[in-house]
Amino acid sequence: MLLNIVTYNIRHGLGIDGRVDLNRVLDVLKTSKADVISLNEVDSRRLRSGFKNQAKWLATNLEMHYVFVPAHRRIIAQTGNAVLSKFPIAESELIPLTSTRQRRVALRAVVAAGNNTATIDITCICTHFGLSSEERRAQAEEVIAALQAACKEANPIVLMGDLNASPDNPEVRTISQQLIDVVKDKDQPTFPNPHPKARIDYIFISKNCAIIDAGVIKSEASDHLAVFAALEV
């Protein structure tokens, strides 16, 4: 089965020109033709983004299923991670992560990819790591432990998100020891847009997935670039 994956820190739709415009994020996602999407810094009912439930709005306009988990709460206002999927989301779970500054979480979503005659359960993890190296190392170990506890060996795994660390950092190496980094070329930075210098946004896959193509998607919709991967699972 062919599967198109995208991960994107959308910064609540705040573009590099200082304007919040979720339509630009929508255009990026439409152009990607993704089957499964991981999103970071997604707002729900916050003043700065017009009180919009951004995950729901994007999913509705893309005709996709979605699940959202908050990392930060202010009464009813929330910011967090989301997974959007063309296929039904069979189950989902919020995984709390060690946090020393802002609260960080991971979202585990099982996507039932396929059709009425055959489906493959794909375990997707969408996460956004912290700003200190100490908490990121703990978060990497917690995410890997959660995967090992929840996943059957035969099920494909996709781990996505903004890890706030370069490929050479210990926390990223912890994940790379278990999963495959789809973009092995360190010359494809993702942050900060429009002149990105660091690669901190990732898609990792299990060994039972094959990489057909991978890279970044250029746009002005956020201070991060989206990362895409075309896979065979």
Question: Tens digits of per-residue pLDDT, 48-79?
Answer: 999 999 999 999 999 999 999 999 877 789 99
Report the alpha-carbon distance of residue 205 to residue 158 in Å, rounded. 5
pLDDT computed for residue 165 by the predictor: 97
How confident is the model at residue 176, as a pLDDT?
95
pLDDT band at 232 (very low <50, low <70, confident <90, very high): very high
153 DSSP 8-state letter: T
Question: What distance in Å separates the CA atoms of residue 5 and residue 84, rounded to the nearest whole number?
Answer: 10
Provide the pLDDT for residue 164: 98
CA 108 – CA 47 distance, rounded (Å): 28
Distance of alpha carbon 186 from alpha carbon 175, whole angstroms = 16
Residues of the chain above pLDDT 70, percent: 98
Q: Both tokens of residue 53? A: 């439930």
Confidence of residue 143 (pLDDT cuts 50, 70, 90): very high
Q: C-alpha dihedral over 82, 86, 87, 90, to 10 degrees?
A: 10
**Section 91-104 average pLDDT:** 94
Q: What is the dihedral of CA 168, 171, 175, 181, to 10 degrees?
A: -30
Q: Among residues of the chain, what percentage have pLDDT more than 90?
A: 88
Alpha-carbon torsion (71, 72, 75, 78), positive or negative: negative
Q: Name the architecture of domain 2-232.
A: 4-Layer Sandwich (3.60)
Judged against a pLDDT cut of 80, whether residue 112 lies above it is answered with yes
pLDDT at position 73 is 78
Q: What is the mean pLDDT of residues 7-20?
A: 98
Which amino acid does the sequence have at 158?
V
Band the pLDDT of 152: cuts 50, 70, 90: low
Global confidence as pTM: 0.96
